[in-house]
Amino acid sequence: MHNNEILQTIKMIDEETLDIRTITMGISLIDCMDPDIHVSCQKVEEKICRLAKDLVSTANKIEKTYGIPIVNKRISVTPISMLVGVSGGNPVEYALTLEKCAQKLDVDFIGGYSALVQKGYAAGDEALINSIPEALAKTEHVCSSVNIGSTKAGINMDAVKKMGEIVKQCSEWTKDDNCLGAAKLVVFCNAVEDNPFMAGAFHGVGEPDCEIHVGVSGPGVVRAALAKADKNLPMDEIANLIKRTAFKITRMGQLVGTVASKALGVPFGIVDLSLAPTPAVGDSVAHILEEIGVSTCGGYGTTAALAMLNDAVKKGGVMATGHVGGLSGAFIPVSEDAGMIDAARAGVLKLEKLEAMTAVCSVGLDMIIIPGDTSASVISGIIADEAAIGMVNTKTTAVRVIPAIGKDVGDELNFGGLLGAGPVMPVNQTENDVMIDRGGRIPAPLQALKN
């Protein structure tokens, strides 16, 4: 890097909230399977603690050496339902083991209390899904995800119905803790195996035994670059400006991943170049869209601006790293984004507009607080609609909604930290029980037949 590039990076870190959002170690637990759940849990604890013992200290050393903030240190593991399928027993034992590892290693989150059921239930899947509310209520650092659909398989509507019930139960189990359980659960369509971001991270079966992923972030840097641009600049030039900025952000992630991989002696997996916002002032994806020219996020033009942003980030970032992966693009988690919180409070950003935006963003309906009396079938309907967008468009979509037990539209829920806070948003409560109760499977679309 030339001197002026180093100075630019320092400015991005000091003034524009640039950081590495996460360094995530993916660990395979395939060799920890055992018919005895207690033996299996012992193997899980031994392997995670052995491989990740230096993860936090290495990340801290990189922070000090290069002056690059690394906000979260995380671990992702093989979907635990696979281990449950062999061992049987109460899956919560695995959740408690993962929590024990997280506390020992001082990591922020550990993901992989997961099941992949897009085409149906295998051994261990149903037991794990039924245990999710208890597991998330009894742990602080464990995150969970369930993949209920894919472009190749279609949508498992039995699982969609079940997950509407599970989301509601997660909030009820943690109603005295701001319904935090539901904030640690994501329902996916087309889930990816190398995602470093929580709550949806898990270590896929196609991944190596152990690897390091990096998730970069930089909404504040992109917003600052656009704030300096001429308001009459054409959209294609705005896209080029975003691309150049994304390149600089991603190159920092490549550096951190390379150094961490060498220090820890494990392969470098991917850089996820998603713009991941926080509630901090100046670190908002919504504010980027507003700099592009929509006065408040949610107004007409928002979806088009987000589509351009998502595409430009990918085009710029892909040149800066050898291995792009994860979700990569722009996240729109409402409670984690200061601009989206303000837009939701003002009533400009609504659930229907957010659903439209998910067709062009990195993930989907994320960190949306809904009335606590929303029925499980309505939540299932939200999941089904979002999965359909992902299935037909061959992209990852997800739902992370939090039914705020005892609260209604206009009330607030505050999680603190990166999870932020936000208003309870209105939800169309039209009954859909007949459709949801049908179950079965929505067939894969024609797009699946690409061979």
> What SS3 string covers the chain?
CCHHHHHHHHHHHHHCCCEEEEEEEEECCHHHCCCCHHHHHHHHHHHHHHHCCCHHHHHHHHHHHHCCCEEEEEEEECCHHHHHHHHCCCCHHHHHHHHHHHHHHCCCEEEEEEEECCCCCCCCHHHHHHHHHHHHHCCCCEEEEEEEEECCCEEEHHHHHHHHHHHHHHHHHCHHHCCHHHHCEEEEECCCCCCCCCCCCCCCCCCCCEEEEEEEECHHHHHHHHHCCCCCCCHHHHHHHHHHHHHHHHHHHHHHHHHHHHHHCCCEEEEECCECCCCCCCCCHHHHHHHHCCCCCCCCCHHHHHHHHHHHHHHHHCCCCCCECCCCCECCEHHHCHHHHHHHHCCCCCHHHHHHHCCCCCCCEEEEEEECCCCHHHHHHHHHHHHHHHHHHCCCEEEEEEEECCCCCCCEEECCHHHCEEECCCCCCCCCHHHHHHCCEECCCHHHCCC
pLDDT score recorded for residue 358: 94
Q: Stretch 158-169: mean pLDDT, rounded?
A: 98
Q: Stretch 376-400: mean pLDDT, rounded?
A: 96
CB of 173 closer than 8 Å to CB of 410? no
Per DSSP bridges, beta strands 19-27 and 70-77 are parallel
Q: Which residue has the higher pLDDT, 325 or 128?
A: 128
Q: Stretch 52-65: mean pLDDT, rounded?
A: 94
pLDDT at residue 367 tops 90: yes
Structure-token pair, residue 434: 């007949």
pLDDT score recorded for residue 249: 83
User: For 212-222, how does the pLDDT look when each residue is reduced to its tens digit (9 = 90+)?
Assistant: 999 988 788 88
pLDDT score recorded for residue 13: 57
**The CATH number of the domain covering residues in 25-189:** 3.20.70.20
Q: How many CB atoms neighbour CB 443 within 10 A?
A: 11
User: For 9-53, how does the pLDDT look when each residue is reduced to its tens digit (9 = 90+)?
Assistant: 655 555 455 778 899 999 999 999 999 999 999 999 999 999 999
pLDDT score recorded for residue 2: 57
pLDDT score recorded for residue 447: 86
Contact residues for 309 (Cβ-Cβ < 8 A; gap 6+): 222, 242, 275, 285, 288, 289, 292, 330
Q: At what angle do helices 235-264 and 302-317 cross, to 10 degrees?
A: 50
Amino acid identity, position 303: T
**The CATH number of the domain covering residues in 217-441:** 3.20.70.20
pLDDT score recorded for residue 330: 86
CB of 115 closer than 8 Å to CB of 79? yes
CB of 432 closer than 8 Å to CB of 378? yes
pLDDT at residue 303 tops 80: yes
pLDDT at residue 171 tops 90: yes
Residue 403 phi, psi dihedral angles, 5° rounding: -65, 115
pLDDT score recorded for residue 429: 94
Residue 159 — pLDDT band, cuts 50, 70, 90? very high
pLDDT score recorded for residue 448: 86
CA angle 225, 11, 1 (to 5 degrees): 95
Structure-token pair, residue 66: 């290069």
Amino acid identity, position 125: D
Structure-token pair, residue 426: 């209105």
User: For 179-203, how does the pLDDT look when each residue is reduced to its tens digit (9 = 90+)?
Assistant: 999 999 999 999 999 999 999 999 9
Average pLDDT, the chain: 92
pLDDT at residue 6 tops 80: no
Q: How far is CA 49 from CA 21, 89, 107, 409, in A?
A: 22, 23, 11, 44
Residue linked to tokens 């840097």: 221
pLDDT score recorded for residue 10: 59
Range(s) of the chain covered by CATH 3.20.70.20: 25-189, 217-441
CB of 133 closer than 8 Å to CB of 96? no
User: For 410-448, how does the pLDDT look when each residue is reduced to its tens digit (9 = 90+)?
Assistant: 899 988 777 888 999 999 999 999 999 999 999 999 988
